[in-house]
Structure 1
Amino acid sequence: MASQGDTSNPESVEELTMMVKWSGNGTFVVRVCADDTVGELKRRICELTNVLPKRQKLLNVRVGATPAVDSMLLSQLNIKLTTKIVMMGTVEDEILVEPVDAPEVVDDFELGQEDTVDIMDREVNKQKLRRRIEQFKLNLINPPRPGKKCLVLDIDYTLFDHRSTAENPRELMRPYLHEFLTTAYQFYDVIIWSATRDDSCGAVSMKWVEVKMKELGVLSHPDYKITAMMDHLAMITVQSESHGVFDCKPLGVLWGKCPEFYNSKNTIMFDDLRRNFVMNPQNGLVIKPFRKAHINRASDQELLGLADYLVAISALDDLSELDHQRWKDYSDQHKRRRRS
Structure 2
Amino acid sequence: MALPIIVKWGGQEYSVTTLSEDDTVLDLKQFLKTLTGVLPERQKLLGLKVKGKPAENDVKLGALKLKPNTKIMMMGTREESLEDVLGPPPDNDDVVNDFDIEDEVVEVENREENLLKISRRVKEYKVEILNPPREGKKLLVLDVDYTLFDHRSCAETGVELMRPYLHEFLTSAYEDYDIVIWSATNMKWIEAKMKELGVSTNANYKITFMLDSAAMITVHTPRRGLIDVKPLGVIWGKFSEFYSKKNTIMFDDIGRNFLMNPQNGLKVSVKEARTVITSYMSSYRGYLRSRTSCFSARNHYDSAGHCSEYQTAYTWSSSFFVNLILYFLKIIAIRLKNPFPPI
Q: TM-score range by the shorter chain?
A: 0.5 to 0.7
Letter in 2 for 1:307: Y
**Structure 2 match to 1:35:** none
**Structure 2 match to 1:321:** 297
Segment drifting more, 255-264 vs 299-308: 299-308
Q: 1:95 aligns with which of 63, 68, 71?
A: 71
2: CA distance between counterparts of 1:182 and 1:173?
A: 15
Please say if residues 100 and 162 of structure 1, whose CA atoms lie closer than 8 Å, have aligned partners that are also in contact: yes
The reply to whether residue 207 of structure 1 matches residue 178 of structure 2 is no
Please say if residues 176 and 301 of structure 1, whose CA atoms lie closer than 8 Å, have aligned partners that are also in contact: no
Segment drifting more, 109-118 vs 132-141: 109-118
Partner of 1:98, secondary structure, is strand
2: CA distance between counterparts of 1:178 and 1:151?
A: 14
1: CA distance between counterparts of 2:278 and 2:149?
A: 14
Partner of 1:143, secondary structure, is coil
Letter in 2 for 1:220: T
Letter in 2 for 1:289: V
**Structure 1 match to 2:117:** 128
**Structure 1 match to 2:127:** 138
2: CA distance between counterparts of 1:290 and 1:323?
A: 22
Number of aligned pairs?
233
Letter in 1 for 2:288: V
**Structure 1 match to 2:33:** none
Please say if residues 235 and 243 of structure 2, whose CA atoms lie closer than 8 Å, have aligned partners that are also in contact: yes
The reply to whether residue 307 of structure 1 matches residue 296 of structure 2 is no
Change (3 A) 1:164 1:53: closer
2: CA distance between counterparts of 1:329 and 1:270?
A: 13
2: CA distance between counterparts of 1:96 and 1:157?
A: 20
**Structure 2 match to 1:190:** 179
Change (3 A) 1:215 1:54: closer
The Cα shift of 1:54 comes to 8.1
2: CA distance between counterparts of 1:321 and 1:124?
A: 25
1: CA distance between counterparts of 2:154 and 2:207?
A: 26
Change (3 A) 1:146 1:218: same
Percent identity among equivalent residues?
47
1: CA distance between counterparts of 2:13 and 2:203?
A: 40
**Structure 2 match to 1:275:** 256
**Structure 2 match to 1:243:** 224
The Cα shift of 1:118 comes to 0.3
Please say if residues 129 and 252 of structure 1, whose CA atoms lie closer than 8 Å, have aligned partners that are also in contact: yes
Change (3 A) 1:177 1:187: same
Please say if residues 101 and 262 of structure 2, whose CA atoms lie closer than 8 Å, have aligned partners that are also in contact: no
TM-score by length of 1: 0.60
Change (3 A) 1:126 1:146: same
Please say if residues 175 and 300 of structure 1, whose CA atoms lie closer than 8 Å, have aligned partners that are also in contact: no
Change (3 A) 1:166 1:93: same
Q: 1:255 aligns with which of 236, 261, 264?
A: 236
Please say if residues 139 and 179 of structure 2, whose CA atoms lie closer than 8 Å, have aligned partners that are also in contact: yes
Change (3 A) 1:116 1:208: same
1: CA distance between counterparts of 2:248 and 2:259?
A: 15
2: CA distance between counterparts of 1:332 and 1:255?
A: 26
1: CA distance between counterparts of 2:163 and 2:257?
A: 21
The Cα shift of 1:300 comes to 8.9
2: CA distance between counterparts of 1:231 and 1:303?
A: 30
Q: 1:287 aligns with which of 253, 259, 268?
A: 268
2: CA distance between counterparts of 1:120 and 1:333?
A: 22
Partner of 1:97, secondary structure, is strand
The Cα shift of 1:96 comes to 3.9
Letter in 2 for 1:280: N
Change (3 A) 1:254 1:172: same
Change (3 A) 1:243 1:94: farther
Unaligned residue ranges in structure 1 (runs of 5+): 1-51, 56-91, 197-204, 335-340
Any residues of structure 2 matched to 1:160-239 within 5 Å, and which? 160-196=149-185, 205-239=186-220
Please say if residues 182 and 212 of structure 2, whose CA atoms lie closer than 8 Å, have aligned partners that are also in contact: yes
TM-score by length of 2: 0.60
The Cα shift of 1:257 comes to 1.2
Please say if residues 157 and 290 of structure 1, whose CA atoms lie closer than 8 Å, have aligned partners that are also in contact: no
The Cα shift of 1:111 comes to 2.0
2: CA distance between counterparts of 1:301 and 1:175?
A: 13
What is the alpha-carbon root mean square deviation over aligned residues?
3.3
Please say if residues 133 and 257 of structure 1, whose CA atoms lie closer than 8 Å, have aligned partners that are also in contact: yes
CA displacement 1:198-241 (0-9 Å, x = unmatched): xxxxxxx1111111111111111121111111110100011111
The reply to whether residue 154 of structure 1 matches residue 143 of structure 2 is yes
1: CA distance between counterparts of 2:271 and 2:208?
A: 24
